[in-house]
Amino acid sequence: MSSLILTNSIATTGAAASRWRMWTPPLAALTAFAAALISPTVLDDGDTWWHLAAGDWIIAHHAIPRVDPFSFTMAGAPWTAHEWLAELLMALAFRLAGWSGVALIAGVAAASAAAIVATRIARDLDGPPLPIAVALGLSLLSPSFLARPHLLALPILAAWSAGLLAARDRGCAPPPALAALMALWANLHGGFVFGLALIGPFALEALLAAAPAERLDVARRWAGFAALSVAAALLTPHGVEALIFPFRLLTMTSLAQIGEWQAASFAHIQPLETALFVVLALALRRPVSMPPVRLALLLGLLYLALAHGRHQMLVGVIAPMLLAAPVAKALGSEAEPPARDASAAWPVFIAAAAALALVAFRAAWPIVRVDGPTAPIAGLAATPPALRLKPALNAYDFGGYLIWSGVRPFVDGRADMYGDRFLARYRRLAAADPATLDETLTQDGVAWTMFPPSSPVVAAMDRQVGWRRLYAGPFAVVHARVDALDPD
């Protein structure tokens, strides 16, 4: 249905057309804000717990951890806390307003990114295609609406991409102020390396578009901006290590076993699938033409999104910006230069008022965490305090909650620190390989285990001599070694 609307849209002009551009950005921001603030799924990721714990550690020690302070299997091992600033902000939000504060900071980040993307698209596209394009972009961002550092860095990705496009619109290199943004990005999330890589396609496009006599000057200006951006990216506590870290992470073979790093699956309707159908329908109905470099960039983004689910947010941010002008030209929905209109502020005021109402709602009904697939609250509560101090063998998704609760886990979401060899061993454990399980229980001195009821480890532990169940619930089953339990 959306493809029919998009392909049959006709140009709208004058006051009617301007309303689409007035209302779409603030409503997009409000929608993203509400989704992050109200939807319970924003806190469903198990990594949120250990990110908060890392932020608390930074506050308590007035330092950034260089070695692992949390697990018992990797205690003292080198750890690059490259997302330290995001973790600090999350911890401060939690201290100020609990889980509602964490949801609020996630909502502000999501809303900011949505506003930047929608405003940039509205520069080129008008009429009904504008909100459709923005909605498709937001749908690709929705799986990433999780209270984690990548969401806090999302507005920077949007601003960076919009800044590069704006520089190309002006026919000049980006300003130094945009390069300074890289310093903030590099301290929030490792995705900043993609931002650095994004300079290349736009610099190449500028070079190809320049007259032969001007190409040396164009190359010099863009190279200067790139060098300044790299220098800004090095302004982190980790220096060059922070620049190398994302590339080292991408070489890990174990990433393919982690949900967000797996290839996109179309077994069920997904936002990416819907977006591809809409764009394909449009391309088959209308002649959509893109400059070669931007087309190559778009195809590269699509490849990344299909190869790794977490990269769909890159498509959700950048692809609508790249496609806005070509789609507008194909549909005859080009945006005209905005005229001065005092009424244009009203959509912003209304969206802001609605956002404040949502904040008041969340303040009146704060978020209370309950048992869940990544929060085995009841299972840990049923575990004696003395037992919690002893080595545990836990499910990967439970590690974050255990860290936040002061328990040293066997494994958690910091795959980069554990490495391929350790994670390969853990996969054998999770599959209840008898030899690996027996060896781990003995050599690591494991005193208790915690896994989801459906895990093969649960059935294997039921058969272990000298072990017994302490707790069985809908989300977790706890086993304990009998001789590790207190006499009481």
Contact 395, 483 (CB under 8 A): no
Q: What is the pLDDT of residues 215-237, one digit of tens each?
A: 999 999 999 999 999 999 999 99
What is the arithmetic mean of pLDDT over 280-290? 85
Task: Give the model's confidence band at 487: pLDDT under 50 very low, under 70 low, under 90 confident, else very high.
Answer: low
What is the arithmetic mean of pLDDT over 440-462? 96
Task: Give the model's confidence band at 14: pLDDT under 50 very low, under 70 low, under 90 confident, else very high.
Answer: very low
Tokens 């002008």 sit at which residue?
Answer: 325
The ranges assigned to domains in the chain are 2-360, 377-484
Task: Give the model's confidence band at 343: pLDDT under 50 very low, under 70 low, under 90 confident, else very high.
Answer: low
pTM equals 0.91
Q: What is the pLDDT of residues 195-214, one digit of tens each?
A: 999 999 999 999 999 999 99
Q: What is the pLDDT of residues 140-166, one digit of tens each?
A: 998 888 999 999 999 999 999 999 999
Q: How far apart are CA 188 and CA 310, in angstroms?
A: 17
